[in-house]
């Protein structure tokens, strides 16, 4: 949800800012802008469209400057156009701001500005905020840092902001609440600040994750000053980033999404590394060890997440209930937080989130915390808000995921959930020793099995060619593969804009069967171990109605192959592992259809990777 970058130091700001925006474009890409400090004031360039358009727009301009801020937007207030794009200037033109988040009480602030006759050009809450800060600054005679502290105390909502002041050259003021902001400290005490670490890594690995309600002053050559809104001094704890630049590049792939699909043998391996010891038949999850007894005594586990992470939660529900016999409920973060849920101290709430920043998931966790539950996080981004809000957690270690449609983060989440289910089942004694050991062995082989499934790529591409012009798709699965069907449908709609629905196969006869004809392909996950006979019956029902079937089957399957129009084989594995394997062809199918339709696979319209607003 919007990406922001700021730089101040002894180098040219523009290339750092524009390259930073390109790294953050996954967060939103409907308009982009940049503000640079010049001798005679601040200049702003902004445009509707992607960062490449901004780059094109400024190519003949004098861009030399050592201090600037930049923004790539996912519109919340006001349509995506150049006027609503960030940065926004205050009425005097002296302050410039970039903002990620939503100011909820903007109407109250706006009225205060209107009383003073301050003109507004855009429809955004952000322009109101910068003018409100300027109003406080003028009224109190304070500097920008202090005025920002005072103003933010009266702001309700979520924000990560970076501000510059034409009267205080070289300085950036930063603040956050609810939306993430990372400050990178360069070798020459120059500063680059951004919504996540990806624009920073090329400049420095030393960072400070700004905390809730903190305001910072960044001035080249000087120590950063961090204070709370109440003006308490904070000693910033610097950390070292553990990602590499290569991880953030496409590495020869046409799209990040394809690269990330192909990274899954490694990312699944990384999510198990150090946790699974096949020789010793042991699983250890260091992050949650101190809380294991608490979890074992839990009345129930509630998982919260959004989008793909919610689907991973549904897979986890099957795994934990089957292997550890603890009741599990899975909730959308957005629903959970607004329905006065019953939560007791003996509940364990697990937040699942790739970014660790999704506003609804975060809010759901905060609510559960207030009610006394133990919170665990399954996050990919180290140091993210959800990782910090929870009592303990298990990082997925999938590496940075840039494609907006989640792929490797999903399989890493599923892997971690299986590790958790196995660990709990082992401790509780609810899983027969033999199955436990066999599952550990199979899980250790999962990266190789995924590698094998990736070899179906060409075949999936050919299937995609047959169906790319269809307007609707149905995805069916049973049991643990029902959420995989949901995830397959989500992938297709996200990146190809084709309508797709996921259903439990047996539910088909309660509605979707009415839609089946030769123009609605049905993708069925029909692996041997999961209710195979039942799903074969479902396939017959579809064929009896002229439906066309793409089936994901277990290697060597003849029965479904004889019925389906296309079959994609995946290796035989324990049912618990099938989501890890069956998901891969579905990701590839969505990918190839989207490419064939000429879609922007990594940046699908209207979406953003990290949804930091409600």
Which spans of this chain sit near ligand G6P (rule: CB under 6 A)? 306-309, 353-355, 358, 361, 404-406, 607, 609-611
Q: Give me the catalytic one of 50, 94, 259, 609.
A: 609
Decide: helix, strand or coil at residue 319: helix
Quote the least distance from Cβ 213 to ligand G6P, whole Å. 22
Residue 32, helix vs strand vs coil? strand
- Describe the crossing of helices 408-428 and 307-324 by its angle, rounded to 10 degrees: 20
Q: 223-227 long-range contacts, Cβ below 8 Å, gap at least 24? A: 223/189, 224/183, 224/185, 224/191, 225/145, 227/145, 227/149
Is residue 154 classed as helix, strand or coil in its secondary structure? Answer: coil
Q: Which of 143, 146, 113, 144 is nearest to 129 (CA)?
A: 113
CB of 601 to ligand G6P, least distance (A): 13
Residue with tokens 């910068």: 130
> Is 227 assigned a catalytic role?
no
What minimum distance in Å lies between the beta carbon of 405 and ligand G6P? 6
Shortest Å distance, C-beta 458 to ligand G6P: 26
Residues 6+ apart with CB under 8 A from 71: 2, 3, 4, 5, 21, 32, 33, 34, 46, 85, 86, 87, 98, 99
CA–CA separation, 425 vs 416, rounded Å? 14
| CA max distance for the chain | 80
Q: How far is the CB of 257 from ligand G6P (least distance, A)?
A: 11
609 is catalytic: yes
CB of 584: closest distance to ligand G6P in angstroms? 17
- Alpha helices, DSSP H, located in 7-124: 13-24, 51-57, 106-115
Residue with smallest beta-carbon separation from ligand G6P: 307
Which phi and psi (to 5°) does residue 492 adopt?
-65, -45
Cα–Cα distance between 420 and 317 in angstroms, integer? 11
253 vs 332, which CB is nearer to ligand G6P?
A: 332
| Closest approach of ligand G6P to the CB of residue 367, in Å | 16
Residue 305 C-beta: closest distance to ligand G6P, Å: 6
Identify the three-state secondary structure at position 233: strand
Residue 110 · residue 104 · CB < 8 Å: no
Nearest distance from C-beta of residue 404 to ligand G6P, angstroms: 5
Phi–psi pair at 242, nearest 5 degrees: -110, 20
Taking the chain, what is the end-to-end CA distance rounded to the nearest angstrom?
A: 10
Residue 434 contacts by C-beta under 8 Å, 6 or more apart in sequence? Answer: none
User: Between 582 and 613, whose beta carbon lies closer to ligand G6P?
Assistant: 613
Q: Which of 2, 259, 408, 603 is catalytic?
A: 2
Residue closer to ligand G6P (CB basis): 361 or 554: 361
Q: How far is the CB of 306 from ligand G6P (least distance, A)?
A: 4
Structure token pair of residue 550: 């793409």
**Which two structure tokens, joined as six digits, stand for 502?**
């996921």
Q: Reduced to 3 states, what is the DSSP secondary structure of residue 165?
A: strand
- Other CB atoms within 10 A of residue 319 CB: 24
Long-range own/partner contacts, residues 132-136 (CB < 8 A, 24 or more apart): 133/90, 133/95, 133/97, 133/163, 134/90, 134/91, 134/92, 134/94, 134/95
Task: Report residue 386 as tokens.
Answer: 């959800």
Non-local (6+) Cβ contacts of 4 within 8 A are 24, 69, 70, 71, 86, 98, 99, 100, 160, 161, 162, 181, 193, 194, 195
Cβ proximity to ligand G6P, 118 vs 364, nearer residue: 364
Q: Closest approach of Cβ 613 to ligand G6P, in Å?
A: 11
**Residue for token digits 């133990």?**
374
- What is the spatial distance between Cα 342 and Cα 409, in angstroms, rounded to a whole number? 30
Nearer to ligand G6P by Cβ, of 30 and 190: the residue is 30
Q: How far is CA 445 from CA 265, 268, 474, 557, 569, in A?
A: 10, 10, 31, 21, 17
Q: Which residues are catalytic?
A: 2, 609
């Amino acid at each position: 949800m919007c990406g922001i970058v700021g730089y101040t130091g002894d180098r040219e700001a523009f290339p750092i800012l524009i390259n930073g925006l390109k790294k953050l474009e996954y967060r939103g890409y409907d308009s982009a802008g940049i503000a640079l400090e010049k001798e005679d004031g601040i200049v702003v360039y902004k445009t509707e469209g992607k960062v490449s358009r901004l780059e094109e727009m400024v190519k003949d301009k004098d861009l030399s400057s050592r201090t600037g801020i930049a923004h790539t937007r996912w519109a919340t207030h006001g349509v995506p156009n150049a006027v609503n794009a960030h940065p926004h200037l205050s009425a005097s033109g002296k302050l410039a701001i970039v903002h990620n988040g939503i100011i909820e009480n903007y109407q109250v602030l706006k009225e205060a500005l209107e009383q003073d006759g301050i003109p507004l050009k855009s429809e955004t809450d952000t322009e109101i905020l910068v003018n409100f800060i300027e109003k406080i600054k003028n009224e109190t005679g304070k500097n920008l840092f202090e005025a920002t502290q005072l103003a933010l105390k009266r702001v309700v909502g979520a924000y990560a902001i970076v501000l510059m002041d034409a009267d205080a050259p070289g300085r950036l003021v930063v603040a956050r609440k609810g939306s993430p902001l990372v400050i990178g400290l360069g070798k020459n005490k120059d500063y680059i600040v951004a919504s996540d670490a990806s624009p920073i890594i090329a400049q420095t690995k030393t960072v400070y994750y700004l905390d809730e309600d903190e305001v910072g002053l960044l001035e080249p050559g000087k120590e950063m000053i961090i204070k709370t809104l109440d003006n308490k001094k904070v000693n910033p704890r610097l950390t070292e980033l553990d990602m590499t630049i290569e991880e953030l590049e496409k590495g020869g792939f046409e799209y990040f999404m394809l690269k990330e699909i192909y990274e899954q043998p490694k990312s699944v391996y990384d999510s198990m590394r150090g946790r699974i010891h096949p020789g010793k038949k042991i699983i250890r999850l260091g992050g949650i060890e101190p809380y294991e007894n608490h979890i074992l005594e839990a009345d129930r586990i509630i998982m919260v997440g959004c989008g793909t992470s919610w689907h991973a939660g549904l897979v986890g529900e099957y795994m934990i209930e089957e292997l550890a016999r603890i009741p599990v409920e899975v909730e959308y973060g957005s629903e959970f937080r607004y329905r006065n849920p019953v939560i007791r101290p003996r509940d364990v709430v697990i937040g699942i989130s790739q970014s660790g920043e999704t506003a609804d998931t975060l809010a759901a966790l905060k609510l559960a915390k207030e009610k006394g539950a133990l919170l665990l996080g399954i996050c990919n981004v180290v140091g993210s808000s959800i990782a910090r809000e929870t009592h303990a957690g298990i990082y997925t270690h999938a590496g940075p995921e840039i494609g907006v449609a989640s792929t490797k983060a999903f399989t890493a989440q599923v892997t971690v959930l299986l590790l958790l289910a196995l660990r709990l089942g082992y401790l509780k004694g609810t899983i027969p020793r033999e199955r436990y050991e066999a599952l550990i062995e199979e899980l250790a082989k999962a990266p190789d099995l995924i590698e094998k499934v990736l070899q179906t790529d060409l075949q999936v591409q050919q299937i995609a060619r047959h169906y790319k012009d269809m307007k609707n798709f149905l995805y069916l699965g049973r049991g643990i593969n029902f959420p995989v069907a949901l995830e397959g449908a989500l992938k297709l709609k996200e990146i190809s804009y084709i309508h797709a629905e996921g259903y439990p196969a047996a539910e088909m006869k309660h509605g979707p069967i009415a839609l089946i004809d030769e123009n609605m392909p049905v993708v069925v996950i029909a692996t041997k171990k999961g209710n195979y006979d039942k799903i074969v019956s479902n396939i017959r029902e579809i064929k009896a109605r002229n439906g066309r079937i793409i089936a994901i089957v277990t290697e060597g399957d003849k029965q479904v192959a004889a019925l389906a129009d296309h079959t994609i084989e995946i290796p035989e594995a324990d049912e618990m592992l099938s989501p890890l394997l069956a998901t891969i062809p579905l990701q590839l199918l969505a990918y190839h259809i989207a490419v064939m339709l000429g879609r922007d696979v990594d940046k699908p319209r209207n979406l953003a990777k990290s949804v930091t607003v409600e």
